[in-house]
Structure formats: structure tokens, C-alpha cells
């Protein structure tokens, strides 16, 4: 069959399948991938140009500290040049313009420097293909960060989304989310034709991700790319794929690909619903399955190859611009994950491999029933037997992909809320002691803890704070929590310190505008008085100014707040099961006005990179033996 006939057959077949819908919920990466050319890539000669000629494993590439090679600072005149030349794109048709040269400086590891950044998950970037991806729009956003004087781009977890479309409920702690693979990059590489994309519906709502549609049609796109890859002339890319498999299969890739292939065969049901020989991992059954479904297993390995190939290219482009990526590590693993299926002895499961106790949070002022997350709890005593290798490997893996890392629900490492499996609320839970110092010492022996910070929100005890402070981990503060009229909140600016990471709001919060409209009027009035916010300035600008001018070294703004959006753009509402993780930024929102506003705020508060002076390079975040 010709490529066009293959494409038509694949797309037609997909109408009866739904590869990811219904599913509940060590990297070596190869780069030198020219993503920014705009030429037609359908010819064989152009495919050869776009193939990766010199695949370079991340382990042999320069480490984080050397990725920022320049010592010059980004000057104010350079920022003005970017703005004047429309380097930051403000219309849908402009996305994908050529990269601009950016001057940068090294990131300091000591001294009293100041910095700021933006929280925006990749899924929220504009895209004509239903969901944000690692393509031109991501690079346009990084140009926006540079022009507005920011150093940090914080994202949510990069893993495959599972139950509830949440990035915190993933099928794997290592595999990347295939929804983030950029379609146009695949076109440039010759793996797809633009006409293929035009025939596949990805959703036409510029404000919301349609995950139901994406879960059906993104796999259609990727399986078509897999077919083209097998049938086409991609010699260099095939060598890179072979190298990727050789480097990653033994540690995680083969197990994950087999897991996803079985899940696909059984219509996406959780692994505990599979036939018993596969559920219980009978060796003969797994060997027979792998032999019979080799092509499908290879497809899932290929998708991961594409993901990490694109991610490495995006990370390199971030470093060229002087931007650091801040990642996010969920504390728990999803029950419907390859880790729980392949290593059940590490989790609190019974003889039938069902959870005995699950994770959550106790009732509080925001929820009378608490939050029932449902993740299986760890057997910390078993994990301790090999010095927490499972957790250390998770951390090291993530730090090969990002520059700094937030540990979600840090308080669960000191003690965690344990809820009997089968309960419908988190009310009957109990606090159980966690691994605390033992785990953090093991992590500290493997990585530099200076690039890790703790999400220490919620019910925090003196023991949690002592654990955080013993290992000198910065904690988080949220300005929206600051303004009880008694002025006693630990989040209020006069109670903050230099090492706090301060947010105007997180992905779990209202936007500032939504907070102003829906929150306790007494607290809103106190915020106005405390920060001296006038009607002319407005609550959004005033709150952002309050964060920017705080003593905190690092300030992170929600992108929705920079755009002054309301709660229609809220990313997640905890303890709700639907409608989350869907917000998308519209094309054209990255305007000169928003650049100037954020740049002026950053300069006024002394957070521009060029205001920090000469600073040393960061040390590698990976231990020497890695």
C-alpha cells in the first residue's frame, strides 16, 4: 500500500478504536534534531537532512551546570530588541517563527540572588491539534519568558495521564506523555504528512482540551508515524531508536511497553482485571505474549523514543535561552501503573494484589470528607532494605529531564494519611510514620539536594518542618493563603523568608481574579489594605506586585494570573473528579503589553537575570558515579 492509502486505512480503523480512553490511571535521549526549519520535508533528500545524524545520549552530554555556557547577562537593550522585532509572537499565524539568538548567564547556587518564573503546563500551550505540545508554541513561550525577564518555567509531571486525565495519576513513573509529542515536528521529520493531520479531529475548542477525543486520535496519529517509520527510509533515526532501546529496555522501557500493549489488547482496563496469568506475571504467559505481540510492544517503545527525542531538543533550546525547567514529582504511584504491576512487593497489597490501604488527606476547612486519592501506599520497610533504591532511581531519572524538582506532598514523607481500601471518603484514615530522614539521606547521597524543594502545604506539623529544614529544602508559600485579618498566616509577606518559593497560586488554586471574586470578602479587603492595592492598580497586579517585592528568592506566577483570567481557566480543583487539567492558553495572548508588564514588574523587584551580577555555575545534580 502507498503511504496515503496506509494513512486512510489507519484513520478509518481508528474510528472503531479508543486506545487510551477508559484507562485508569535512567533516560538516554537523542537530540541534534532541527525542529525550526520551515521547508517542505516530504522528499527523501529533506528527510535525510532532518534525520538525527549524531545521536548523543544524555548521560554523555554536558551536565546541567555546563549547559549554561555563557557568562554574559541578558541586557535590557537585548530585551527591548526582542520586543521591537516581534520575537514574541502575538498571533496564531506567527507561531513557529525562527528562533532568536538569546544571551544568557549561569544560574547561581549561592549568594542572595533573586529570580522569578511562570507555572504553565505544556498541555496548556496553544496548538491547532487539540493540546499543547513540545513544538513551536513551546519555543514561543520560552521567548516570552526571556523577553519578560524570567528564568524559570515550571511544569506539571511529564508522565502519561491516566485516571481523571491527571498528570499525577500516571501509568509509569518514567514514560513520557505521548499527548505532548508535537505533530508538526513529525511532519518535518517525514513521519507524517500535513494532510494526515488535517484528516484527524483533535478538537476545535481553543480554551479546553477534549481528552476523550485526544485519547482516541493521538494514538491514531502515532501509529501512522510508526507505520511510516517501518516502511520509510530513516536509517539514521532507526539507529538512534536501536540505541535508545539498547540503553533503556532493561531498566524500564521493555516492561512499560509490554504493560501498555497488554492494556491496549484488553481495551484499557486496569491490570488487576487482566487474565490471571498476565495479572500475576506468570513467566510463560509473559514470554508467549511478548513473542506474539512483538510489533505492538515495539510501537510503544517507539512512542517513548519520539517523546524523549523531542523533550531533549526542547530542554536544549531552554538552556540556550537561559531558562531552567522546574519539574514536579508526585509522591505516590498510581495503582494502574507498570510499577505496581511489576513490583507489587513494594506496595501495601493483599494476596490478590489489591490495595489494603490507600493514600489521601484528612478532612479540613476545604473538604469535610478529606481527599481520597486512592494510590496504593508504599511498604517503606521493604523499600528501606535496599536503601530506597526505587525512590532514588525515580529522583535521578527526573533530574536527567529537568533542572529543579518539586516533591509533591512532601509532608507524606514524614507521616502519611492511610485510608482503608474500599472506603468512599478519607474520613477513617490515620497518620502513619513515614521514612523521613532515612529516605532523604539516601536521596542526598545520590543527587544534589539544592535543586529540590518541598511542597509543604496543607496540615503541616513541627516534625514536617524540622525534616524539611534539616535537609535545607526550600518550602512553598502561596499568597492567596496569606490574608486572614489577624495577620497570623505563615504565608503573609512579613512571615516569609529568603528561601521560600512563593506562588501567587498553584495549579490547585483559584486564579487571583477568581480568588478576588469568590473568596472571603474580609480576607480580600485585608489583602487590599495590607498590600496597598488601589482600584487603578487592580487586585491581580497588586497581588503579583506583593509577591514580586517579597523577600523570597524565588517567585512563581501562574500564567493565568499574568493574563488576568478568572476561574474559568483554573487548572485543577482538588477533590473533584472531572473538568480538570483542561485549560488552554489561546493563540495571541503573549502580547507586547504582557511582556512589558511582566518585565517592568521583574525589573522593579530586582529579579532580572542581569541584575544578579556574576554568579558561579551550578554543580551537576547527578552524583559522579551515575
**CA distance linking residue 557 with residue 146, whole number of Å:** 15
Q: Which of 455, 456, 510, 561 is catalytic?
A: 455
The residue among 332, 413, 431, 410 whose CA lies nearest residue 374 is 332
Which of helix, strand or coil describes residue 517?
A: helix
Q: What is the dihedral sign for C-alpha 239, 176, 247, 249?
A: negative
Q: Which of 59, 408, 441, 564 is catalytic?
A: 408
Per-residue DSSP letter, 251: I
Active site residue 204: no
Q: What is the dihedral sign for C-alpha 132, 137, 143, 147?
A: negative
Is 362:430 a contact under the CB 8 Å cutoff?
no
Active site residue 438: no
CA-atom Rg of the chain in angstroms: 24
Active site residue 408: yes
List CB contacts of 398: < 8 A, sequence separation 6 or more.
Answer: 327, 329, 405
Residue found under cell 524540622? 466
**CA distance linking residue 485 with residue 506, whole number of Å:** 22
Angstrom CA distances, 569 to 326, 426, 543, 563, 572, stand at 21, 28, 18, 10, 9
Question: What are the grid coordinates assigned to 52, written together?
Answer: 538525527
Is 395:405 a contact under the CB 8 Å cutoff?
yes
Is 162:334 a contact under the CB 8 Å cutoff?
yes
- Residues 296-327, buried b or exposed e (16+ Cβ, 10 A)? bbbbbbbbbbbbbbbbbbbbbbbbbbbbbbbb
Q: Which of 437, 508, 523, 564 is catalytic?
A: 508
Is 592:90 a contact under the CB 8 Å cutoff?
yes
What angle do the packed helices 211-231 and 294-320 form, to 10 degrees? 100
Q: Strand runs (DSSP E) across 72-205, as ranges?
A: 115-119, 152-154
**CA distance linking residue 611 with residue 18, whole number of Å:** 52
**CA distance linking residue 477 with residue 174, whole number of Å:** 28
Q: How many helices (H) and strands (E) does the chain have?
A: 24, 12
Active site residue ranges? 408, 455, 508
Amino acid at each position: 500500500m502507498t503511504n496515503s492509502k496506509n494513512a486512510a486505512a489507519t484513520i478509518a480503523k481508528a474510528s472503531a478504536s479508543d486506545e487510551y480512553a477508559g484507562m485508569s490511571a535512567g533516560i538516554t535521549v537523542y537530540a541534534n534534531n532541527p525542529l525550526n526549519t520551515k521547508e517542505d520535508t516530504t522528499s527523501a533528500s529533506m528527510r535525510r537532512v532532518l534525520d538525527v545524524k549524531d545521536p548523543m545520549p544524555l548521560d554523555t552530554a554536558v551536565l546541567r551546570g555546563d549547559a549554561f555556557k555563557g557568562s554574559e547577562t541578558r541586557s535590557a537593550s537585548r530585551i527591548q530588541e526582542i520586543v521591537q522585532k516581534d520575537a514574541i509572537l502575538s498571533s496564531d499565524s506567527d507561531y513557529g517563527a525562527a528562533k532568536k539568538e538569546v544571551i544568557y548567564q549561569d544560574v547561581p547556587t549561592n549568594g542572595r540572588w533573586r529570580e522569578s518564573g511562570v507555572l504553565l503546563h505544556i498541555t496548556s500551550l496553544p496548538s491547532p491539534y487539540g493540546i499543547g505540545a513540545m513544538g513551536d508554541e513551546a519555543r514561543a513561550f520560552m521567548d516570552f519568558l526571556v523577553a519578560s525577564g524570567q528564568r524559570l518555567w515550571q511544569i506539571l509531571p511529564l508522565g502519561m495521564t491516566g485516571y481523571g486525565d491527571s498528570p499525577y495519576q500516571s501509568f509509569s513513573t518514567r514514560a513520557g506523555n505521548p499527548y505532548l509529542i508535537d505533530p508538526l515536528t513529525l511532519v518535518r521529520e517525514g513521519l507524517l504528512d500535513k494532510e494526515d493531520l488535517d484528516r484527524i479531529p483533535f478538537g476545535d475548542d481553543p480554551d479546553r482540551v477534549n481528552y476523550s477525543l485526544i485519547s482516541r486520535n493521538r494514538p491514531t496519529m502515532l501509529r501512522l508515524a510508526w507505520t511510516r517509520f517501518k516502511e520509510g527510509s530513516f536509517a539514521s533515526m532507526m539507529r538512534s531508536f536501536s540505541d535508545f532501546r539498547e540503553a533503556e529496555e532493561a531498566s524500564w522501557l521493555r516492561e512499560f511497553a509490554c504493560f501498555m500493549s497488554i492494556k491496549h489488547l484488553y481495551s484499557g482496563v486496569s491490570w488487576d482485571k487482566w487474565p490471571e496469568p498476565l495479572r500475576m506475571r506468570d513467566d510463560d504467559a509473559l514470554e508467549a505474549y511478548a513473542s506474539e505481540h512483538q510489533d505492538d510492544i515495539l510501537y510503544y517503545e517507539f512512542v517513548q523514543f519520539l517523546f524523549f527525542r523531542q523533550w531533549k531538543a526542547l530542554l536544549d533550546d531552554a538552556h540556550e535561552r537561559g531558562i531552567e525547567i522546574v519539574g514536579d514529582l508526585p509522591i505516590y504511584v498510581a495503582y494502574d501503573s507498570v510499577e505496581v504491576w511489576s513490583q507489587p512487593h513494594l506496595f501495601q497489597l493483599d494476596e490478590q494484589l489489591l490495595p489494603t490501604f490507600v493514600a489521601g488527606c484528612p478532612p479540613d476547612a476545604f473538604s469535610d470528607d478529606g481527599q481520597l486519592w486512592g494510590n496504593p501506599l508504599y511498604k517503606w520497610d521493604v523499600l528501606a532494605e535496599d536503601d530506597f533504591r526505587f525512590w532514588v532511581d525515580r529522583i535521578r531519572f527526573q533530574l536527567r529531564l529537568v533542572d529543579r524538582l518539586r516533591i509533591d506532598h512532601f509532608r507524606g514523607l514524614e507521616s502519611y494519611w492511610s485510608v482503608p481500601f474500599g472506603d468512599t471518603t478519607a474520613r477513617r484514615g490515620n497518620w502513619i510514620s513515614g521514612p523521613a530522614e532515612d529516605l532523604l539521606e539516601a536521596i542526598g547521597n545520590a543527587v544534589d539536594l539544592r535543586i529540590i524543594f518541598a511542597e509543604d502545604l496543607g496540615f503541616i506539623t513541627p516534625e514536617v518542618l524540622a525534616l524539611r529544614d534539616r535537609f535545607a529544602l526550600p518550602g512553598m508559600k502561596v499568597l492567596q493563603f496569606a490574608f486572614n485579618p489577624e495577620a497570623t498566616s505563615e504565608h503573609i509577606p512579613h512571615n516569609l523568608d529568603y528561601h521560600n518559593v512563593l506562588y501567587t497560586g498553584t495549579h490547585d488554586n483559584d486564579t487571583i481574579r477568581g480568588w478576588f471574586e469568590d473568596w472571603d470578602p474580609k480576607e480580600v479587603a485585608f489583602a487590599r489594605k495590607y498590600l496597598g492595592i488601589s482600584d487603578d492598580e487592580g487586585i491581580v497586579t497588586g497581588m503579583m506586585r506583593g509577591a514580586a517585592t517579597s523577600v523570597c528568592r524565588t517567585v512563581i506566577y501562574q500564567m493565568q494570573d499574568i493574563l488576568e483570567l478568572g476561574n474559568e481557566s483554573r487548572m485543577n480543583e482538588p477533590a473533584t473528579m472531572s473538568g480538570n487539567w483542561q485549560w488552554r492558553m489561546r493563540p495571541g495572548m503573549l502580547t507586547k503589553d504582557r511582556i512589558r508588564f511582566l518585565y517592568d514588574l521583574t525589573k522593579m523587584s530586582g529579579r532580572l537575570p542581569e541584575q544578579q551580577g556574576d554568579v558561579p555555575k551550578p554543580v551537576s545534580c547527578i552524583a559522579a558515579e551515575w
